[in-house]
Amino acid sequence: MNSKAALSRDFTYLWSGSAASQLGGMNAAIALPLLALSLTHSPVFAGWVAAAGTCPRLLLTLPAGMLVDRFDRRLIMLTCQYTRVAISVMLAVGLAFDFHPGLLLIGAAAAEGALGALYDLAEVTVVRRLVTPDALPEAMARNEARSHIALLLGRPLGGFLYGLNRTLPFVADAASSFFSAITLHCMRQKDFQPRKQANSSSFRKCLDFLLEDPFLRMVVTICAVTNFAFQMLFLMLVVQADREFDSTSMIGILFAASGLGGTLGAIVAPRLFRRFRLAETGRQVYVLFFCVWGWFAMTATAAVGDRPLTGLAAWGGISFIGAHMNVALTVHQATWVPGDDMLARVTSVTNLVTQGAVPLGSLFTGYLLSLVSSTRIVTGFVTVVTLTVAAISSFWLWRSRKRRDLDRLPPTAPNQPPELVPTSAMATPSRAAP
């Protein structure tokens, strides 16, 4: 039996609802700035609306982690979805009656971003209770694929719906959020209370765990540095496309390449994890080694080619490889973070560090491109960064293997909820190759 058989009906409900919710949220995310521009004819206001949709997801991730570790995760997720329904319905009804939302658009975008961050952190803790440890790679890979598919389909679908009628993206967002809430009600397991109440003083414990776990510490550092570099590469590709093709269609293709590459990577990742048992302690390092040198190869390809189409292929390859790193990170966290009251906060810290590098990379690249005219300088810099990361990571891996740091089990054994007992409907999978 393969690990897919271990994914329970409850996980399928959760995944389906979250997939619909992400797709609907992406529709609203693309429609809100378009609506702001249409109503005010102000690019500045549209930019504020777009920023309001992304900043809360980053700025509120730590408080969101505290909330998720303290309160009932199912109640949090239901509250998020029903609140999103209310926001989208109000926007759709207001637009239908020609009401000018004005500054309310900024509030709506900020609320969508904050609720999305809170829901995602709660979902991470719920997944660990719904699947067996051996099935975590499959579950996390499906979640990773879901995110890339939402990115791939959500933006064009949101623009298409907005073109038909400006209320439709918000109707779709409300419907998808309501569907997600219904799937949560359909789940058999209802108790997702943390088994031990978290307190504010224990946040230091989460940081200590993050710093003391060698694999987690290294992955977070690598992702932060490479995310900074990859934003440089993306903005450079946008500039190249604008110069060579004089068309905005290339930007859409770049987004599509990222979504397609990430989706394919998420499909392949669980098969590799099962085939080579990469989720086991000590074997995760092979994923890390593959990713850092694969990223160097992709950025070197973009630097040597120095053309939009070459960069497009490299960008898709970077996303394909990144899906493996994301699966390895989420599986490691879900497996080895001790207890039931720390996972959301540990995840929130890793999200803050890794995602916080993204806007910094964009800002740095904007200034760099204003000073230099050659895009090859940017790709060369990114290639040097990824080569440095790969070399340092390889040295660290060699030293860690020599000291056998990664072969030691963490001080706390993997957390497996007592109610997670294999049954005929949810059997423990074998590790046989697919």
Name the CATH code of domain 1-186 (choices 1.20.1250.20, 2.40.110.10, 3.10.129.10, 3.30.300.30).
1.20.1250.20
Residue 144 near residue 323, CB atoms below 8 Å: yes
Residue 148 near residue 266, CB atoms below 8 Å: yes
Per-domain residue ranges of the chain: 1-186, 203-411
pLDDT 10s digits, 315-337:
999 999 999 999 999 998 988 88
- Domains 1-186 and 203-411 agree in fold: yes
pLDDT band at 432 (very low <50, low <70, confident <90, very high): very low
Give the residue from 156, 38, 151 showing the smallest Cα distance to 98: 38
* Model confidence at 255: pLDDT above 80: no
Token readout for 108 is: 């709506």
* Model confidence at 201: pLDDT above 60: no
Residue 326, pLDDT score: 94
Residue 430, pLDDT score: 35
CATH assignment, 203-411: 1.20.1250.20
* Model confidence at 382: pLDDT above 80: yes
pLDDT 10s digits, 355-374:
988 888 887 887 887 787 77
Please enumerate in sequence order all residues whose Cβ is within 8 A of that of 425, keeping only pairs 6 or more positions apart, or say none: 8, 9
pTM for this structure?
0.83
Three-state DSSP class for 276? helix
The angle subtended at Cα 118 by Cα 114 and Cα 120, nearest 5°, is 115
Token readout for 203 is: 């946040």
Average pLDDT across the chain, whole number:
84
* Model confidence at 237: pLDDT above 50: yes
Which residue in the block uniquely carries the two structure tokens 């690019």? 43
When mean pLDDT is compared across 214-218, 279-283, 360-364, the lowest value belongs to 279-283
Q: How many CB atoms lie within 10 A of CB 85?
A: 20
Three-state DSSP class for 128? helix
Residue 3, pLDDT score: 42
